Amino acid sequence: MISNNIKSWRKFSLLGLSLALMNTSCIDYMDNVNPNEVTEEMMGVDNLKTGAFFSQMLRRVVIIKDGEMMDSDYQIAQQLSHDQYAGYIAATLGSTAHNGQYIFQESWVNATFDYAFTGIMAPWQNIHKIATEQGLEEVDALATVVKVAGMHRIADTFDPIPYVNYGASNQYDPLDKIYEKFFEELGSAIEILGNYVSGNSSAKLMSDYDYIYGGSVAQWVKFANTLRLRLAMRVAYANPQLAQEQAELSVNSPYGLIETKADRAELNHGLLSYHHPLQEIAYNFNAGDCRPCASIVAYMDGLNDPRISKYFTLTGDGGYNGVRIGISTSNMANYQGTKVSNLNMDASTTPVVWMTAAESFFLRAEGALRGWNMGGDAKTFYEQGVRVSFEENEAGSADNYLADDTSTPKAYEDQVGSDNYTFSTEVTPAWDEADDFEGKLERIITQKWIALYPDGPEGWSEYRRTGYPELIPVVVNGSNGTIDTELQVRRLPYTRDEKINNPDGVASGIAALGGADNGGTKLWWDKRDR
């Protein structure tokens, strides 16, 4: 079930705004007596409008079904690209030429780009204008944090995009300049929101429209801090000095990091009625348009990882098995049946998670491994990351798992065809202090990758940045030699609509890209030789 309803990023959807307005809850004036919350009177007649724009942004960092937006929009914008390239979710689309076979569908790539600009940048611009006019710097700061949360996923997909001077110029900005802007924006937002919450940890902001934290500014500051740490690590190979500087700013911040499930960033089912789009794609689209990827199933099965039962369902023979990306077969029905596992998701309770608590510990583990001041050592943070991931997934104790120094990823056995694969890695869950830098880094990133599931954009970015974990390569590579099968996809090409409507902007992007506009060209931060 694939929709091709693509919109230009320059055309803000009035229908989307109307739906956002209609879906906004009625204002509870009792909530606004808190002296640490922006009131109706402070925001004036634009309050409802600003709140609607904000709630729209929250629905678009990860696309969910809402009004005219469908789960098929998530499918074409993320599941058929990022989620596959991360080694998380395989498409079961038969012999149809598609992104999983490195044959990029123009309308799908358009969706990845366009939805970000119509759903994130356009409403942010409106919030920024209103907040600036009314002197509501806290509202502006909060919206900017959400903007960075959504747009770094897009920048990490394409490389140069229009961002730094959005609204004033159609030119594409180099990715290093975009990251400088990210850090500038996050630093300012953390200061503003930190001052707002200082002395009152219960301070609220935009509570009627906040589906993540219900208006809790203290939690938003933790998220912004941890997001800065994520982006700092992203540039570790491209600009080590900047990476260390920003990472240490985050760790040393008095406002803290996300360290518990209660503080992780997710669309809260208690605040917004929705379901995870992957659940509908896996169970309701045709006979199931996706299944677990062979890579992550083989890793978790081989490592005897208890989280596997939380992530995936058993096959008909009582085991776990996934699907390789880029398959081409006349027996697709078998891949959609009981010979392979399915996603273990509940339509009403499985949340869309923007950032896990475990991620912050793995980020600090890598920073400590690099010699940065992270407030502890790599081993301790690594094991904390695993333990917290177990807690987040209600997988029991991690003690035995962390002591396992023998289990390694399991060879993949194709249950339908003959596309088998044997891993070369011998990574285990147990930390090995005697291992070298690369051995320790592989452990950190492997466990981080497992904990990030099913966040495809992050999993794919970490794979590109570090080369870990080892992923099973695509079966069919239809790129005509532009993408190395072993290196896999490094980016998505620029969109057809932008090439037609903004040719000068695209030309500036290609010039800054420093390579051909195809899936084999590395991003600015993708500096590691492999």
Q: What pairing do the DSSP bridges indicate for beta strands 290-292 and 353-355?
A: unpaired
CA dihedral 283, 284, 290, 292 (to 10 degrees): -10
Direct distance between the N- and C-terminal alpha carbons of the chain, in angstroms, rounded to an integer: 37
Q: Which two tokens stand for residue 276?
A: 């995870």
pLDDT for res 48: 67
* Nearest CA among 389, 397, 391, 399 for reference residue 362: 389
pLDDT for res 64: 94
Concatenating the DSSP letter of every residue in 465-520 gives: HH--S--PPPS---STTSS-TTT----PPPPHHHHHH-HHHHHHHHHHHTS-SSTT
Q: What angle do CA 258, 262, 265 make, to 5 degrees?
A: 60
Those residues of the chain that have pLDDT short of 50 are: 3-40, 42-46
Q: What is the CATH number of domain 14-26+45-84+103-274?
A: 1.25.40.390
Concatenating the DSSP letter of every residue in 11-47 gives: S--HHHHHHHHHHSPPP-GGGGG-TTS--HHHHGGGH
Strands (E), 269-422: 290-292, 353-355
Any idea which residue has 């990574």 for tokens? Answer: 427
Domain boundaries, the chain: 14-26+45-84+103-274
pLDDT for res 3: 41
Q: Which two tokens stand for residue 454?
A: 């099913």
Burial class of residue 249 (count of CB atoms within 10 Å of its CB; 0-12, 13-18, 19+):
middle
Alpha-carbon distance of 40 to 44, in angstroms, equals: 6
Give this prediction's pTM.
Answer: 0.92
Alpha-carbon distance of 387 to 92, in angstroms, equals: 33
pLDDT for res 345: 97
SS3 for 73? helix
Burial class of residue 375 (count of CB atoms within 10 Å of its CB; 0-12, 13-18, 19+):
middle
Alpha-carbon distance of 492 to 488, in angstroms, equals: 12
Which residues are registered as beta bridge partners of 312?
A: 343
Q: What angle do CA 512, 232, 474 make, to 5 degrees?
A: 65
